[in-house]
Chains A and B, each alone.
Chain A
Amino acid sequence: MFRLLFLLVTLWSLSATSAQTVLQWWDYYTDGANNQAMQDLIARYEAAHPDVDIERTSIGFGDLKSRIIQAAATGTMPDIVIVDNPDHQAMAAQGALADLTDYIAAWEANDQYFDGPWSSTVYNGRNYGIPYGSNATALYYNEDVLTEAGIDVPETWDELRAAAQALTTDTRSGFCLSMINTEEGTFTYLPFLWGNGGDIPDIGGEANIEALTLLNTMMNEDDSVSRAALNWGQGEVNNQFMAGQCAMMINGPWQIPNLEAADLDFTWRVADWPNNGTPTSILGGENFAAGAGGDTDAAWQVISWVTAPENLLPTLQISGYIANRADVASNDVFQEDPVIATFADQVAVAKARAYGENYPQISEEIMNMVQSVMIGARTPEQAAEAAAATIMPLLP
């Protein structure tokens, strides 16, 4: 009797030890193509590694940052977390992410990544993650409306202004973009600054003043940009475009599934950013990171597996993201479809928002600057000067 009990207890404890390692995974893909891509990726990982169970929690974009602060403060960071690339350095500075420098030094793929995306994962000379996928923004346009008005796709600022003016009617804005006072607004504005040869460290300079003047003229003089744009996120801009209320818009490839599902009765296409001398776009995309205090070894196993070319490529295809490592980006998949090809070209010239750990504050000051000009509270010169005063001390 005793021996039977002993046997049962041993068997039970053995089954307990050979039970699964449970890893916590956080991301902010609550719906759409990226959500599907993650579900598929995790399913494939668990199929290949039966002893690992990944519990995925999907948190809304706006809430993930505050959840991470709370988790970091209470020592309950998840093992794996997917982080928006401009926030990565700030989170590393907070001590929320595990230092992966040693793992990456021994990794054979550590030289495959493009500089832009890679720079967002490095803080104080240490590595805190690996890029997942990148995307960039570009100019979407309603081809039917442009052909009808006899207008070519704009490539320079002058052409953009003229096209927007010609395409504006009572029921339609010529040009729509997100100018809301969140990161989405900064994400939309920065390529105007960069496309004029400017950058944040000289935000008080002429390049920035000209960019502000362009947008101010289009909104307040030409009326080709709706004032409601000050309250629109990129999703709302896309809704306006799909409803035929915009002839052109700035948006990212994550809208493609929405545009295709809407089965629109007009043809839409994508073109490169109109610029004033410097071809440019802005890097979006997220990075994989391991939470501080989690199971870093197991997390590294997952991260290195999911970023291996054969596992990454199907995920990128589902989510519509562009590869940011050379061995995957060279795949024909990224050049077959003209829309994806345009975004891939934009990723190649896109800049990352790698401005140090105070970037969230810098971003807010930039949108304050833009909005103050748009509502007429300041002239472009005054706004640029005020922004330079507050932003320069925040740069590393």
Chain B
Amino acid sequence: MRETPHAGRAEVRPAQPSQRASKRRVTARWVHYSFVLPAALFLLVFIAYPVLFNLRMSFQDVRAANLLNGGAAWVGLDNYRTILANPVFQQAVRNTLLFTGGSVVFQLSLGLLLALFYNLTFPGSRVMRGLYLIAWTIPVIVVAAIFRWLFDGQVGVINYWLQNLSLIDDNVFWFSDPNVALGAIVFINIWLGIPFNMALLLAGLQGIPKEFYEAAEIDGASVPQRFAFITFPLLRPALFAVLLLGLIYTFKVFDVVWATTQGGPFNTTHLVATLAFRTIFGQFQFGTGAAMLNLLFVVLFAVSLLYLWTLRNEEVN
């Protein structure tokens, strides 16, 4: 707060200091907004415009022949009605929910268990922690290719070991059998997601002061009690963040499915993202594909708003 040089004469000239003060406030606000401007422009051009363009395309009958000519007819909600009535899309929605739910539940719980384990200090803990992160840096396509070989019905190692351990009798054709194909893909996705979950939860765990645990030990709390009354409540913000981020990311996964089954056999492993890709780039039906992606976008937008709302709550706290 600056003192006006003529503060002593405030009674003689009352208007001037407030005028100068209001000029300072207006200038400051303009400067604040100008810092946000580059990011806002970027969002407008690269996110808002494509999203709105996609929204408009979903209400038109855009196909290969009229994509460039611009002569696409306006069909209103027909594209949406078509996809919602299409059993392949309905299955894709079911698959997406199963895939997301199954992946996130196990990624989070296994990630939490590993984080709790690596929160203890023992010789080699840091090195082993680091190895998980290396696994996370392997490109998804490479992981999918390796797992395709591991899961191969004829010559895959997984079948070999399951038979050796007498858990199965015959070869299971993981990617050709609609009953197990989605499960195999979820397994791969869980493998892919554990390191990320573990790293974030470990960071959250290390933010809990050790004094709480020492105090609890002195008071005679057992290990499960310490987890329930200290660890879990203090870890809740991190858990919730990882859960929501995991949901948002997994809901739109494309690469794992595309690199393993491409949605087959007979469309039984399609997720909404892969089905939309096949519709747009394989069949050149742009309007229908846009409708699918808009529905996906609406769901993700709602979850993201939920995430932002929880952040606001935390800042208030």
* B175 lies within 8 A of chain A by Cβ: yes
Q: Is the CB of B154 within 8 A of A240?
A: yes
Residues of A with C-beta under 8 A to B102: none
B16 on the interface (CB 8 Å rule)?
no
A371 close to B (CB within 8 Å): yes
A250–chain B nearest beta-carbon distance, Å: 17
Flag whether A326 is at the interface (Cβ < 8 A): no
Is B178 located at the chain interface by the 8 A CB criterion? yes
**Complex Cα–Cα for A374 and B51 (A):** 40
Tell me if A166 is interfacial: C-beta within 8 Å of chain B: no
Q: Within 8 Å of chain B (Cβ to Cβ): is A235?
A: no
- Given A90-B64, A93-B64, A360-B283, A231:B155 Cβ within 8 A: no
Asked whether B265 lies within 8 Å of A230 as measured between CB atoms, the reply is yes
B261 at the interface (CB under 8 A from A): yes
The interface size bin for chain A is: 20 to 34
**B123, CB-defined interface residue at 8 Å:** no
Per the bound structure, the CA–CA distance linking A368 and B178 in Å amounts to 13
Within the complex, which residue of A90, A227, A231, A367 is in contact with B261, where a contact is CB–CB below 8 Å?
A: A231
Q: Check A364 against B265 for contact (C-beta < 8 Å).
A: no
**CB proximity to A under 8 Å, residues B268-302:** 268, 278, 281-285
Task: Specify the main secondary structure of chain A where it touches its partner.
Answer: helix
Min CB gap A228→B, angstroms: 4
User: Which residues of chain A in 344-380 are interfacial with respect to chain B, using CB atoms and an 8 Å cutoff?
Assistant: 357, 360-361, 364, 367-368, 371-372, 374-375, 377
- Cβ-defined contact, B281 with A230, below 8 A: no
A94 near B67: Cβ-Cβ < 8 Å: yes
User: How far is it, in angstroms, between the C-alpha of A65 and the C-alpha of B177 when the chains are bound?
Assistant: 29
Chain B residues closer than 8 Å to A245, beta-carbon distance: 154-155
Asked whether, in the complex, the Cβ of A181 is within 8 Å of the Cβ of B266, the reply is: yes
Does B65 sit within 8 A of A, measured CB to CB?
yes
Contact partners of A329 in chain B: CB under 8 A: none
Query: Is B78's CB within 8 Å of the partner chain A?
Result: no
Check A94–B284 contact: CB distance below 8 A.
Answer: yes
Of residues 225 through 257 on chain A, the ones whose CB sits less than 8 Å from some CB of chain B are 226-231, 240, 243, 245
Query: A-side interface residues toward B, CB under 8 Å?
Result: 65-66, 69, 72-73, 90, 93-95, 173, 180-182, 226-231, 240, 243, 245, 357, 360-361, 364, 367-368, 371-372, 374-375, 377
Closest 4 pairs between A and B when the two form their complex, measured CB to CB: A181-B264, A228-B153, A230-B176, A371-B266
